[in-house]
Amino acid sequence: KLVKQMEIFGMVNWLPDEQALLKARSSICDEAFDLHLFAVSGREADGSYRLSIEVSCVYPHSHGRMTLPSTDPAAIPLIDHGYLNDMDGRDLAVMLDGVELARRIAAQMRDEGLIEGAIAPAETATSREELERWIASAVGIYYHPACSCKMGPESDATAVVDPRGSVHGVDRLSVCDASIFPVIMRANTNLPSAMLAERMADWIG
């Protein structure tokens, strides 16, 4: 039923891959929100539709790591996203809440005849342990990498740039993108990056 509705809509309108965004608060969130759920669709090679509800933890406590393999400036950096590596398991708990919310949405869609059922995680997976294993096997990037060149004072050994984006210890070199945010914002990074560029333009120019 849902596929038919989408096909009819797509005949006369632009049909984006991402159609809706839901902001939610997990059971351990004490301010604002820490979850994004968004609907994604698209046609597969065989002409069938792919329908999914993506779940994202937008205030992660896990930390990735980027290292340089050599002094060659053309060498590709080594990136470890560090998914779910926070010691207290907070990110996994947030993702579990998000997956359970997505499953409730999918179940309602099924009951209303919009979809036939869920494929992954399987509807037979009901225990917390089963869902945690599935999350660990399916987790990936949300396409908003940031915070690899942290802004902070020179006394902070982990800081790369000062409050105006100038690289510590290097003259006339600045960084102006989402990499210098000390903490990733609970939002898409494009508009904050544009705001940052407008703010820093006068300093760099």
DSSP string, 10-79: HHHS---SEEEEEEE--TT--SS--EEEEEEEEE-TTS-EEEEEEEEESS-----EEE-SSS-TTSPPEE
Map residue 166 onto helix, strand or coil.
Answer: strand
The catalytic residue among 36, 61, 63, 144 is 144
Q: Check residue 195 and report its DSSP letter.
A: H
If residue 80 lies in a helix (H) or strand (E), which one and from where to where? strand 78-80
**Hey, what amino acid is at 31?**
E
Q: What is the DSSP string of 99-131?
A: HHHHHHHHHHHHHTTS-S--TTTTTT--SHHHH
Q: What backbone phi and psi angles, to 5 degrees, belong to 189?
A: -90, -5
Reply yes or no on whether 61 is catalytic: no
List residues with catalytic annotation. 144
